[in-house]
Structure 1
Amino acid sequence: MADIKYEITEELGVLSEKSSGWTKELNRISWNGGAAKFDIRDWAPEHEKMGKGVTLTEEEAKQLYKRLGEYFG
């Protein structure tokens, strides 16, 4: 299996933290040298390990923002 390369280009914020020290974060990440995308996933302290997550393009992030705004009014 090929190595997946990533670079956190912008840390946008921690959404929650577990007692283990892992955090659920919203970041902008470049995967394998591509354009940075919005990313929500769990991270170990110091970002040495990651859990499964969701990656969104800018348009998908805008649609999510719009839908959440409609939901929460």
Structure 2
Amino acid sequence: MESSGFTQFLIGIPWFAWIAIVAIICGSISGIIAQCQRHFERMEMIRQGMDPDNRGAARLEKWQDVEV
């Protein structure tokens, strides 16, 4: 049974290179998931009538909500 060229390539990669490959793949997947989460959060804010670009302005400081 002969191995294909791709299989030989994978077997030929040293063990320390696999650490870098796995780190790059995991980092990319993590970034994609974070971006999707930010997108879904932004879309939900738009559905609720909030301005997603102005998150901090909607909150009042403690001294601003006290009636005098």
Q: Same fold (TM over 0.5)?
A: no
Task: Considering Cα pairs closer than 8 Å and 6+ residues apart, tell me whether 1 or 2 has the greater RCO.
Answer: 1
Scaled by the length of structure 2, what TM-score is found? Answer: 0.35
Scaled by the length of structure 1, what TM-score is found? Answer: 0.32
If you compute each CA radius of gyration, which structure gives the higher value, 1 or 2?
2
Structure with the higher helix share, 1 or 2 = 2
